[in-house]
Structure 1
Amino acid sequence: MNITGIVVEYNPFHNGHALHVNESKKQTNADLVVAVMSGNFLQRGEPALVSKWSRTKMALATGVDIVLELPYVFATQQAEVFAQGAISILDNFGVNSICFGSEAGDIEQFQQLVSFLDENETSYTIFLQDALKDGYSYPKALALAFKKLENSETVLDLSKPNNILGYHYMKAIYKIGSKIKPFTIQRTTAQYHDKNISNETIASATSIRESLIKQKNDLEAIKHVVPQYTYQELLSYKVKFGSFQHWERLFPFLKYKVLTASVEQLAAVYEAEEGLENRILQAIKDTSSFQELMEKLKTKRYTWTRLQRFCLHILTNTTKVEMQHLTYAPYIRVLGMTKQGREYINHFKKEMEIPLISTVSKHKHPYLDIEKRVATCYSLGYDPIIQNKLIKEEYSHPPILL
């Protein structure tokens, strides 16, 4: 059986994602599509609009056969660690290929880039460290270091966000010695950070979220850029939970955490570096919204994404000790599957070298303890009945079978 993997967030699942799934099947001639999906919090350090269970339903209804969870410890990281966690899951799950979106859309350019940076690793590392010392953010430092290398213009542009992720997928494949074959498709129309929805049928997830939050959960503005099932699931979620989740709803809890913590406690939080704990303590005292806090914290050195992740780790009480020695995913958690997906799992699970988890309450692992804590944080801002439901789902929700 030919199985292709994709790494996703689906926040929420939109027409561009549906195109990605379909094109991935075509390019790889896949019999089965396996998606590794972030849980309730995402790489940019923000809460998912709707729960991972709701997003799993969207994926299964629109072409994905199996949805596996990317643990919080990998899902909320910079590109290198994010990619390493995702690739390790796909590799352990018996996937033959991976197909990712990129600005380049040419897999040969990625292969050349991996070889090029491997040959120039020493110089590249020096240039990167110099840029970081000069106060540039990590993504900007990556781009500057890359441009300093001789002949860097002849290979892939590493300043583009999806190219960066694609490169790290490729690097992770080679690092672990995986036999996964990489493919890429070019992103079209809406780009990753686009904030406005046009009349086209494809829009970025960022613009969809912006529209829903600013328009007070009005779904009509996004109806033409999402599959029908996504639209219906969002409608159902709105009725069931009353609102979509976002940082402003969580801000009062973040402010409480910061103002009741000592400097030492904040310094122990993951991504607290170079006095960032002192900076947030001062900034949050007379701040009334998450947007205002971020504008106060933002500098040339700290990207919006980096600061959001720091705030998220404060909210979830995730420490540097918990996040050290991250290598590969120690288990695989199934969030959902189609009938064909279940048949594959039943056939392949005996060959797996790491545990396959369907219900968290039956397994123990430090990463799962973090997931339970994170689920509690994600439920904040909702009324107690809904909070209890969201927390209980983390412990006992079985995989969704479509």
Structure 2
Amino acid sequence: MKAVGVIVEYNPFHNGHFYHVEQTRNASSADVVIAVMSGQFLQRGEPALVDKWHRAKMALLGGVDLVIELPYVFSTGNATIFAEGATKLLNAIGCESFAFGSEQGTIEPFLNTLSLLRSEEEEYNALIKQFISTGISYPQSLYLAYEKLKNEHPNTYIDLSQPNNILGYHYIEAVNRFNLSIQPLTIQRVQAGYHDDINTNLTIASATGIRKSIFETKSIHEVESYVPKATFKELESWKHKHTQFTNWDSFWSLLRYAILRNTPEQLSLFADVSEGIEHALIKAARKSDSFAEFMSNIKSKRYTWTRLQRMITHIFTGITKEALHQFDEPTYIRLLGMTGKGQKYLSEHKKSFTLPLISRVASTKDPMLALDIRASEMYAQGVNLISKQKLEMDYQTPPIRL
């Protein structure tokens, strides 16, 4: 059986994701679609709308055959770290190819961009330093240096101001750097942009727009036409059990406690906390009554919103620099769910996987997996502010079988 991979968060799974899965299967001629999916905390440094099991079930009901978890070490990392973990896991589970959505829609400009930045690396780095020295932020300096290089070396390149193009570039760069055998494909993103609000004239909305509508209206009925029926049922199930969906606002009291219980010296030990920001975090936590107010009090030109949220995630989960940075490679494949076809693929191919397959965590001793379990327990603590969720879910929840 031939497998193709997708790298996802499904927060939540929507019509655009359904389209992407269908197009991925067609473009690759694969028998099986395997999704490597972030767990309870996501790449932009925030808790997932619903837990990983609800999102895995949405995926399986939406056309995915196997769902494996992207470990916390990678799922909460920057684009480079996120891409490395995800592509290596898809390679380890035997995918011949993987397909990512992009604003670009064709693979050649990605390869051209990779070639440009590699061949002109010295000039690129010099330009970055030059822009930073003028007071421009690091992400903006990267973009301006890239734009200058593009003008000096005409060709067809990707637009690195677009979020899916950025992630796509990092996927291809990771495959190239680690000499992975998996081949990249890209699917044109249609209708809704990454950050777009819901447009009632369209059938596809961004996950960002869907979440914004849910939190603003406190209802899921406004988003019903933008998600498959199975996703809507899972959202209904979560809302019935937990009364509301999760974000940093719903976790705020626990997050505030996690910050204030530490001294500045202790905060500085957590992953991504640097440059003395621990003092600002404590000051802001003392005087902020909500997460939005807290973020407005610490936001500055030096730090992107995403970088701030990532350090906050690590403080909340209690994961230090030492704990996070001891890992370079995935050490296991964690199975979250499968269809009958996915189960058949596992039976036929698991002996050729280059990492051990984990379906039950109770009998597994792995330091990287221990961080995933801790993150799940802290996510459950946040959910418990609004309703009950067992802390032992990772131990008690078997892989979903459809």
Q: TM-score, normalized by length of structure 1?
A: 0.95
Per mean C-alpha deviation after superposition, the further-off stretch among 48-57 and 132-141 is 132-141
1:153, distance to aligned residue in structure 2 (A): 6.7
1:386, distance to aligned residue in structure 2 (A): 5.5
- 8 Å contact from structure 2 (residues 250, 385) kept in 1: no
How many equivalent pairs are there? 400
Aligned-partner residue type, residue 13 of structure 1: F
- 8 Å contact from structure 1 (residues 146, 152) kept in 2: no
- Per-residue CA deviations over 1:192-242 (Å, capped at 9, x if unaligned) read 1113443311001011111111212x1110011000110111111111222
2:225 pairs with 1:213 = no
- 8 Å contact from structure 1 (residues 331, 354) kept in 2: yes
The answer for the alignment partner of 2:50 in structure 1 is: 50
- Per-residue CA deviations over 1:52-90 (Å, capped at 9, x if unaligned) read 000000000010000010001100111111000000000
> What SS does the corresponding residue of 1:110 show, helix, strand or coil?
helix
Aligned counterparts of 2:4 and 2:107: Cα–Cα separation in 1: 15
The answer for the alignment partner of 2:287 in structure 1 is: 286
Aligned-partner residue type, residue 341 of structure 2: Q
Aligned-partner residue type, residue 232 of structure 2: Y
The answer for the alignment partner of 2:180 in structure 1 is: 178
Aligned counterparts of 2:127 and 2:379: Cα–Cα separation in 1: 39
- 8 Å contact from structure 2 (residues 112, 155) kept in 1: no
Structure 1 alignment gaps of length 5 or more: none
What is the RMSD of the two structures over their aligned residues, measured on CA atoms? 1.7
2:89 pairs with 1:73 = no
The answer for the alignment partner of 2:320 in structure 1 is: 319
Q: How does 1:82-93 map to 2 (within 5 A)?
A: 82-93=82-93
Per mean C-alpha deviation after superposition, the further-off stretch among 331-340 and 345-354 is 345-354
Per mean C-alpha deviation after superposition, the further-off stretch among 326-335 and 40-49 is 326-335
The answer for the alignment partner of 1:122 in structure 2 is: 122
Aligned counterparts of 2:370 and 2:387: Cα–Cα separation in 1: 21
Aligned counterparts of 2:39 and 2:357: Cα–Cα separation in 1: 17
Structure 2 alignment gaps of length 5 or more: none
The answer for the alignment partner of 1:107 in structure 2 is: 107
In the TM superposition, structure 1's runs of 4+ consecutive aligned residues that sit over 6 Å from their partners are: none
- 8 Å contact from structure 2 (residues 89, 333) kept in 1: yes
Cα 1:185–1:160 change in 2 (3 A) is: same
Aligned counterparts of 1:294 and 1:71: Cα–Cα separation in 2: 26
1:138, distance to aligned residue in structure 2 (A): 4.2
Cα 1:240–1:266 change in 2 (3 A) is: same
1:243, distance to aligned residue in structure 2 (A): 1.8
Q: How does 1:17-36 map to 2 (within 5 A)?
A: 17-36=17-36
1:29, distance to aligned residue in structure 2 (A): 1.1
Per mean C-alpha deviation after superposition, the further-off stretch among 177-186 and 55-64 is 177-186
- 8 Å contact from structure 1 (residues 4, 30) kept in 2: yes
Aligned counterparts of 1:117 and 1:384: Cα–Cα separation in 2: 47
1:254, distance to aligned residue in structure 2 (A): 1.1
1:141, distance to aligned residue in structure 2 (A): 2.9
Q: TM-score, normalized by length of structure 2?
A: 0.95
- 8 Å contact from structure 1 (residues 333, 357) kept in 2: yes
- Per-residue CA deviations over 1:252-282 (Å, capped at 9, x if unaligned) read 1111111110111111111111111111111
2:269 pairs with 1:268 = yes
Aligned counterparts of 2:328 and 2:7: Cα–Cα separation in 1: 17
2:334 pairs with 1:351 = no
1:383, distance to aligned residue in structure 2 (A): 4.0
Aligned counterparts of 1:355 and 1:154: Cα–Cα separation in 2: 41
> What SS does the corresponding residue of 1:157 show, helix, strand or coil?
coil
The answer for the alignment partner of 1:244 in structure 2 is: 245
Aligned counterparts of 2:136 and 2:319: Cα–Cα separation in 1: 25
